[in-house]
Amino acid sequence: MSSFVVSARKYRPARFDEVVGQEHVSGTLKNALKNEHLAHAFLFCGPRGVGKTTCARILAKVLNCESPTEDKEPCNECSSCEAFNQNASFNITELDAASNNSVEHIRTLIEQVRFQPQQGKYKIFIIDEVHMLSQQAFNAFLKTLEEPPPYAIFILATTEKHKIIPTILSRCQIFDFKRIQIKSIVAHLEEICKKEGIEADANALHIIAQKADGALRDALSIFDKIVAFAGKKFSYQDVIDNLNILDYDYYFKIVEALLAEDMSGVLLQYNEILNKGFDGSLFLSGLSEHLRDLLVCKDPETLKLLEASDDLKKKYQKQAGLAPTSFLLTALNILNDCDIEYKMARNKRLHVEMALIKITYIQRAIDAGNQTPVPEKKKPNFVSEEMPKYGVNNGQKPEEDTPEKDAPVAKEEVKKEGEPKPASITKINGGSSLLGSVLNHVKETHEEQIVAEKEIVRIEKTSDNLNKIWDAFVEKLEGGALKSTLKQAGKSFVEDKIEIRVGTSIAQNTIREEKQLIPYLRKEFADDTLQVTIVKDETKAPKPTKRVAPLNAKEKFIKMRAANPELQNLAIRFQLRPDED
């Protein structure tokens, strides 16, 4: 028979100092032992595989150790420690409440409490998965847990604290175990690799730690699986091949294509991912996480939230510098909506592809919404990209463009009497080129504004004036998400400050990205210190649309009969019983 022992058992901590990622628990327990302030009942809570039962066993071992160290660690040499290591200690009772959850099991345990320890000071009872006990078992356990004999100590462990009745919680000293950080798991795996003589890439260990989701036991199980697959030396590629993980390089390539508005490249990458057997929902989740990591890299203070190797962090930082924040936020919103509706979509591939196409052209929509009137320095082009070649002069071939001819024509068009002056730059048939006459008018308008700014009149801070100034700013915008958001936003003066109320976090970020709004408001109210706050108001949130339930067969017949009464005679003839309710 094979002598192989899984890493989770072979490297199970035997001392508090060896427990990974739970220093706050082990430190508190050691201080309690030093000061002799030990409770009679403990409750260890937290996710699976983070060390709850391990800490319970170490605590039980220390309590009966004949010669503990100065920092209250077990000596592992005395007869009590040796009996514990061999699972032969009569003073420590472990009960799995998942399979022993009835009243009879608890009564049997209570009977054992009555007998004093045969060796050592304490009799310790470890109850794992205590939330699985029945209501009757909890009630039978209450009295003993509240007033146990001085030699009895109870250590309860659970992954679902909310399922334990309050009367039990109030009688225990509660310790909350946290998910183990990826860097701590990687460090522990590196130590095991040194002891076992295994060579592993740093990125490979990071992937194992990420896949474990904060559970060290899961990480060790994955580690054993990879070693069995690849041997004493494995790489990042070995890990993703064995665990069927979508390589992060795909996400870097897709985001690169999205930023370049390369729609065909994005769709081809997604097709390659599907051909490798990955599900669309897994791809959506991975791409959303990748965009989140890029958003985190935008600020040096939040860079520590990115759990990756140093080489991978540099790669994320480089791509984050190329991706605008507005692009990342809008893309995350699109992916979130796509993920929510993914299960209901009939053509799931098309559903994901449409979301990718929307993300591909995000930047154009943002630029269109945030475009400001900036005169072009080059000679204006009177023919837009979407107009016919001779469409400007009613089908007549225009004369050759020269600077001498452009200037008087533009001036004459702008200064026609009785025509209102345009408030902003306009487009022709959706094209991006600007009329020379409009450029001249913008220049004249800008000069008039400079003169007007010299004679500033302080406007009273009232809601009416705020609405007028606000509407004037919105009218200058050419459409897009920003204009729609500003139209729907609520605004008012609150203690001499402007408060903008929106219904969603996306709307908050959209307004924050607009760099001209606050300076515009300060300028109009002639107050450089005017403060503007953007708050989330649930009353402004869009109401969910009601979905109409599909008609059943009877309702369809009634509706069809109303349109064609002859269906009633047909139903009677063939004895279809259409009138039954």
| 369 band by pLDDT with thresholds 50, 70 and 90 | low
pLDDT in tens, 331-340: 999 999 899 8
Q: What is the pLDDT of residues 83-141, one digit of tens each?
A: 888 877 788 888 888 887 788 888 888 888 888 887 778 888 888 888 888 888 888 88
Q: E strands, 410-542, where?
A: 490-494, 497-502, 532-536
Rounded average pLDDT over 473-489: 81
Averaged pLDDT, 26-42: 86
pLDDT category at 393 given cuts 50, 70, 90 is: very low
Inter-CA distances, 385 with 210, 367, 376, 431, 461, Å: 50, 18, 16, 6, 45
Reduced to 3 states (helix: H, G, I; strand: E, B; else coil), residue 128 is strand
The predicted structure's pLDDT at residue 458 = 62
pLDDT value, residue 114 = 84
Per-residue pLDDT at 385 exceeds 60: no
Q: Mean pLDDT check: name the lowest of 16-25, 140-149, 266-275, 395-404.
A: 395-404
Q: How far apart are CA 415 and CA 434, in angstroms?
A: 18
Q: Could you report the per-residue pLDDT of 141-168, keeping only the tens digit for each?
A: 888 888 888 888 899 998 888 888 888 8
As a whole number of angstroms, the distance between CA 471 and CA 474 comes to 5
Encode pLDDT of 209-238 as tens digits: 888 888 888 888 888 888 888 888 888 888
* Plot region of 250 (φ>0 → left; ψ -120 to 50 → alpha; else → beta): alpha
Name which of 316-330, 367-381, 531-545 the model is least confident about: 367-381
Spatial distance between the Cα atoms of 146 and 162, rounded to a whole number of angstroms:
20
Question: By percentage, how much of the chain surpasses pLDDT 70?
Answer: 80
pLDDT for 581 beyond 50: no
Please indicate whether residue 454 or residue 144 has the higher confidence score (pLDDT): 144
Do the strands 532-536 and 173-176 form a parallel or antiparallel pair, or are they unpaired? unpaired
Q: What is the pLDDT of residue 288?
A: 92
Tell the residue number behind the tokens 């064995």, with chain if given: 242
Measure the CA–CA gap between 294 and 319, rounded to whole angstroms: 7
User: Any idea what the Cα angle at residue 67 is, between residues 64 and 69, rounded to 5°?
Assistant: 105
Confidence of residue 453 (pLDDT cuts 50, 70, 90): very low
Cα–Cα dist 105/342, whole Å: 46
How many CB atoms neighbour CB 330 within 10 A?
22
pLDDT for residue 372: 54
Q: What is the mean pLDDT of residues 265-286?
A: 88
* The pLDDT value given to residue 352: 92
What is the DSSP secondary-structure string of 135-183? HHHHHHHHHHHHS--TTEEEEEEES-GGGS-HHHHTTSEEEE--PPPHH
Tell me the one-letter amino acid at 355.
A
Tokens for 76, please give them.
């592992």
Q: Own/partner pairs for 115-118, CB < 8 Å, 24+ apart?
A: 116/149, 116/151, 117/64, 117/90, 117/91, 117/151, 118/90, 118/91
Rounded to two decimals, the pTM is 0.54
3-state secondary structure at position 200: strand
The pLDDT assigned to 67 comes to: 82
Range scoring the smallest mean pLDDT among 262-271, 431-440, 476-485: 431-440
pLDDT, the chain, mean:
77
From residue 580, give the alpha-carbon distance in Å to each of 162, 230, 563, 572, 575. 50, 68, 19, 12, 11
Tokens of 305: 């939230």
Domains plus CATH for the chain?
A: 7-176 (3.40.50.300), 182-243 (1.10.8.60), 248-360 (1.20.272.10), 403-453 (no CATH), 463-540 (3.30.300)
Neighbours of 379 (CB within 10 A): 11
Tell me: the pLDDT tens digits for 299-314?
888 887 887 777 788 8
